[in-house]
Amino acid sequence: MEAGLAKASVLGFADYELDLKNRELRRNGVPIELQPQAFAILSLLASHPNTLVTRIEIQNVVWPTEPASDIHSRLYFQIKSIRQALGDNPNSPAYVQTVPKNGYKFVATVRVLDSSERQPARSGIEDHKNESIRRFSKLEASVAALLLMTGVGFLGFVASPYYPKRRPQASAGQAAVQSSRSDNAAPAISSVTPILPQAIQKIVVSGRNLGNHTAFMNLDTPFLAIRDKTADWAAGRMTPENSDKITLTVESWTDSEIVLLDFSGAYATHGWKLSPGDEIEVAVWNPQTGNGPGLYTLRVSVAGKSAK
């Protein structure tokens, strides 16, 4: 660590300020939401610019009492949230670079900010309001131009498409589910349909607070994984090392049910395959809240019957 960075209370890089004292990330004075663990990791990386920070070093700071085998998925998730907060692309990083099988490196130029260089704090509400006005004005102008071309009356158009129809009232059962749901609650898996020793199969994960997610290209994301604890491999994103070796095809994902269709990638190669009696762990993170993982353990079944 550079001597100046070691004593700094506020670090700056690009348009961002990292307030180490108040534990706040800001861009042009506007706070950016970042979970405490993600902030601790970002602070550690930014305080050591252009230097490899190993996973063990991160673990010693953020999860000092946790076994090393338990922090891989957590670290991957927190790094992803940091990149989202910074608008960083992992394929061509401007801030956080992955050093495969080792750790991470902060590649942006970091400087110590004195009081004269810091942006005045803002809530971001006014920026959001102004941006909304700008977007609406552009949309309004486009609609007006279209209406002039087509000869449609503006008032007649506004009376229908611009105002959403009233949503039908939820049933008593739906209302009960909605009222009991906590958006900040951790995901919980209540059941998983039998998993068979084959690549192509339908697996249904049921529970609550699973989040709502549209899978990119029908594949899994870091929010879902199936781990074969017996054979020591994982499908999905359980650990960074094998995150791209075996993927899961996701058919649908709702707050209470996830439907998987098959395994793909390197399944059945290199010894990675499901065998009768293997102990399986299913892990789900809530994509909206970042909470999790919710875990569920079962064994690979034989002919649809649970293996003992």
pLDDT in 10s for each residue of the chain, 308 residues: 455 566 678 999 999 999 998 889 999 888 998 888 899 999 999 999 999 999 999 999 988 887 776 677 778 888 988 998 999 998 899 999 999 889 999 999 999 987 655 555 554 444 444 444 444 444 444 444 444 444 443 333 333 332 233 333 434 444 334 333 445 688 999 999 999 999 889 999 999 999 887 765 556 666 788 988 898 888 876 554 555 567 788 888 999 999 998 887 778 877 788 999 999 999 998 887 778 889 999 999 986 554 44
pTM over 0.85: no
Full set of structural domains in the chain with CATH: 3-112 (1.10.10.10), 188-299 (2.60.40.10)
Model pLDDT, residue 250: 83
Residue in the block written with tokens 């399944």: 267
Model pLDDT, residue 121: 54
Model pLDDT, residue 122: 52
| CB-based contact 222:80 (threshold 8 Å) | yes
| CB-based contact 243:80 (threshold 8 Å) | no
| CB-based contact 76:82 (threshold 8 Å) | no
Q: Which tokens in the block code for residue 96?
A: 């956080």
Model pLDDT, residue 289: 78
Q: Which residues contact 2 (CB under 8 A, 6 or more apart)?
A: 49
